[in-house]
Amino acid sequence: MALEEKPEQATPFETPFAWIGGEARVKALVERFYDLMDLEPAYTALRAAHGSTLDNARQRLFWFLCGWLGGPQHYTERFGHPRLRQRHLPSETGGGTIGIKERDQWLACMDQAMVETGVDQALRVRLNVSFFQTADWMRNRGE
């Protein structure tokens, strides 16, 4: 389920993982994302959907993004196929449902984290498109 490269958007990097700067940069992005979620009032619905602690979510998103961006497959090596939508159902996570508000807050928080961690603008644009498609598909509450 890696982010697909499109020929018309060729870059000097083999994968988005290489473009972002490898594991250390993915880790920094994930850490900033969850820090923002914890700190910023604009992300309260998103934060509420994550339960009392973010430690597990931080680790799993790091593992997932590494593979999704074309790097090491840490997540699938540990857990198999991500089954994103199934794993985000309220019965499995203990969190709330995912609606438009949570989707939009996730996207805004990730975009802010990408800006603050210095993700290249062209990569950020590409990732935002892919993140929107995935986040919208993850919604499990009709609105």
Measuring CA to CA, which residue among 88, 70, 72, 63 is closest to residue 140? 88
Identify whether the C-beta of residue 63 lies closer than 8 Å to the C-beta of residue 75.
Answer: yes
Identify whether the C-beta of residue 94 lies closer than 8 Å to the C-beta of residue 2.
Answer: no
Angstrom distance (rounded) from CA 100 to CA 45: 10
| pTM for the whole structure | 0.82
Helix ranges (H only) for the chain are 16-20, 23-39, 44-48, 55-68, 74-79, 84-87, 90-93, 100-116, 121-138
The stretch 63-68 carries a mean pLDDT of: 94
Q: What is the pLDDT of residue 85?
A: 45
So what CATH class is 17-138? Answer: mainly alpha
SS3 state of residue 47: helix
114-139 pLDDT, tens digit per residue, is 999 999 999 999 999 999 998 888 77
| Long-range pairs, 58-61, Cβ under 8 A, ≥24 | 58/30, 58/31, 58/34, 61/30, 61/33, 61/34
Identify whether the C-beta of residue 142 lies closer than 8 Å to the C-beta of residue 97.
Answer: no
Residue 1 clears pLDDT 50, i.e. is over it:
no
